[in-house]
Amino acid sequence: MEIVFATKNKNKIKEIKLLLPKKFKIFNLDEIGFKEDIIEYGKTIEENAIIKADFISNKFSIDCFADDSGLEIEALNGDPGVFSARYAGTPKNDLNNIRKVLKLISKKRNKKAQFRTVIALKTKYISKTFEGILKGTISKEIIGSNGFGYDPIFIPNGSSTTLGEFKSSMKNMISHRSIAVNKLINFLNSNKIV
């Protein structure tokens, strides 16, 4: 199956390419000549995933999926959530986002958080979303330099360190993104679409 992954985030592309079986031929936005930014005006992660997938699918008349993800921190009432990419302002900057989170929760006793990914699939006949959640806690400091985004401050439940110290193959075994991708694969397989 040939499908476009509507993202500009190179780390997401790397992770998804490792997660999807070889029978998927993935094209990214660069490869289809799309250079603009898609305006993410949704109020939720799910809405933004659908906005990105619909935009590219409608513009190019192609099968497409998009991933919108965010870190939801209990003590911050679910923030940064849908604002995860630009939490510390624009242009987006992972380190500044991390520093802002660490500052805001330094005095909070509750460090519980979760990553949420919603993948929106849009083809000529299908509009469907798939969700993945990874629960954990926020560390006191930055640990590790693997992964991307908030990985160096997120300790998955059952782990003694952050995703910043996980190899990509280990992160892919448990991540919010892999849970959502597996649901997508099961859906496509069980409906004989691939």
Which are the catalytic amino acids?
Answer: 68
Q: Is the Cβ of residue 84 or residue 137 nearer to ligand ITT in the bound state?
A: 84
Q: According to CB under 6 A, which one of 132, 136, 149, 164 is a site residue for ligand ITT?
A: 149
What are the structure tokens assigned to 75, written together? 């003590």
- Where helices occur in the chain by DSSP H, the ranges are 10-19, 45-60, 94-105, 168-174, 176-190
What are the structure tokens assigned to 10, written together? 């190179």
CB of 82 to ligand ITT, least distance (A): 8
What are the structure tokens assigned to 32, written together? 């289809």
Q: Please, are residues 145 and 152 in contact by the beta-carbon 8 Å criterion?
A: yes
- Considering the rule CB under 6 A, would residue 85 count as an interface residue with ligand ITT? yes
Which residues ranging from 44 to 83 are in contact with ligand ITT (CB under 6 A)? 67-70
The interface region with ligand ITT, picked from 4-12, 99-107, 121-129, 183-191 by CB under 6 A, is 4-12
- Considering the rule CB under 6 A, would residue 27 count as an interface residue with ligand ITT? no
Q: Is the Cβ of residue 151 or residue 165 nearer to ligand ITT in the bound state?
A: 151
Q: Give CA–CA dist 148/28, Å, rounded.
A: 18
Q: Please, are residues 154 and 115 in contact by the beta-carbon 8 Å criterion?
A: yes
Q: Is the Cβ of residue 82 or residue 188 nearer to ligand ITT in the bound state?
A: 82
Residues in the interface with ligand ITT (CB under 6 A) total 21
> Among candidates 95, 113, 85, which has minimal Cα distance to 176?
113
- Considering the rule CB under 6 A, would residue 151 count as an interface residue with ligand ITT? yes
Which residues, including other chains, have CB under 8 Å from residue 74's CB and lie 6 or more apart?
A: 110, 112, 113
Q: According to CB under 6 A, which one of 84, 114, 137, 178 is a site residue for ligand ITT?
A: 84
CB of 12 to ligand ITT, least distance (A): 6
β-sheet with 2-5: strand ranges across = 25-28, 2-5, 64-73, 112-122, 127-138, 154-156
CB of 192 to ligand ITT, least distance (A): 28
Q: Which residues bind ligand ITT (CB under 6 A)?
A: 7-9, 12, 40, 67-70, 84-85, 92, 94, 115, 147-151, 175, 177
